[in-house]
A = this chain, B = another copy of it.
Amino acid sequence: MSILVVGTVALDAVQTPFGKVDNVLGGSATYSAVAASFFSKAKLVAVVGKDFPKKFIASLRAKAIDTAGLQIKKGKTFRWSGRYTYDLNNAQTLKTELNLLSSFNPKLPLSYRNEDFVFLANIDPHIQLKVLGQLNRPKLVVSDTMNYWIEHQKKALRQVIKKTDILVLNDAEAREFSEEVNLIKAAKALLGFGPRLVIIKRGEYGCSLFSRTFSFYVPAYLLESTLDPTGAGDTFAGGFLGYLAACKRISETSFKKAVAFGSIMASYAVEDFSLNRLFSLQRSDVETRFKDFQRLTRF
């Protein structure tokens, strides 16, 4: 199967206690499409400028990602610059240059309009709505967001969530959006907004899935060395939906396994800066770590 991913493709500058990179490939759609590509074919909807290095497009195509929906416009690519201290759970944004993103008007190629599996990665909810409007009854819509949209575009975001099957967000966002401190209460409030499932990501502490009939918790796959947490949440969501789209039948068990595969993909993403580790990764590595993760958590 294939999945459609809309979100940002960015040029990042990142500092962590373990190093510093500039002008590297980043963006919510990039991380999630590459993570999904290990399980399903990903179709990308995003915009970049003429300054966007061709080698990055080649890297995406090397993962068999369909870039027909990637607009290349006159102007500059969205740039994000951030810093992490030893508390790798919290990014400090140093600079955001929207550039072409501020006028991004997604137009889905015809070959994209009947996609069943859709990931609305973190981007302005108005753009997420425009993409949904061009789709012909998708089977499963997964949405992500961030605190900025919760604070500044709550109305549009609520419209997105009404059309969302699975809402993915981190614990701080879940608390802010639901106005509940307790995570179970926050999840219940968010389920009340419409989605069938809510996934609350907790960074290095793992993540929790909530539905009306069951819940599921995984700890994070601990690593001895984490270089750069950028994109971990997007990678999680891409791996999650990529795995689901490849399932013949989607059951409670597939949702749980999808969360575990998403976690595994995220654990690889943070092992190196940008998408370096995801680009060197083999599918067999993913399987090995998944089995290890089962051993690490089963009792």
State the A residues within 8 Å of B (CB). 86, 181-185, 202, 205-206, 208, 214-220, 222-226, 253, 256-257, 259-260, 294-299
Contacts and interface: CB of A to CB of B under 8 A. Distances in A.
B219 A218 contact: yes
B208 A219 contact: yes
Q: Which applies to chain A's interface (DSSP): helix, strand, loop or mixed?
A: mixed
Given A297-B297, A299-B294, A184 B222 contact: yes
Given A205-B219, A253-B299, 6 more contacts: A184-B222, A205-B205, A208-B222, A214-B295, A215-B222, A298-B298
20 contacts: A182-B226, A184-B222, A184-B224, A205-B206, A206-B206, A206-B219, A208-B222, A214-B295, A215-B296, A217-B219, A217-B220, A217-B297, A218-B219, A218-B297, A218-B299, A256-B298, A257-B299, A260-B299, A294-B299, A297-B297
**Most B Cβ at <10 Å: residue of A184, A206, A225:** A206
A253 B215 CA distance: 24
Contact of A223 (B184, B223, B259, B296): B184
A187 to B, nearest CB: 9
A-B pairs, top 10 by smallest CB distance, nearest first, are A217-B219, A205-B205, A256-B299, A184-B224, A260-B299, A219-B219, A257-B299, A206-B219, A217-B296, A86-B181
Contact of A222 (B217, B224, B298): B217
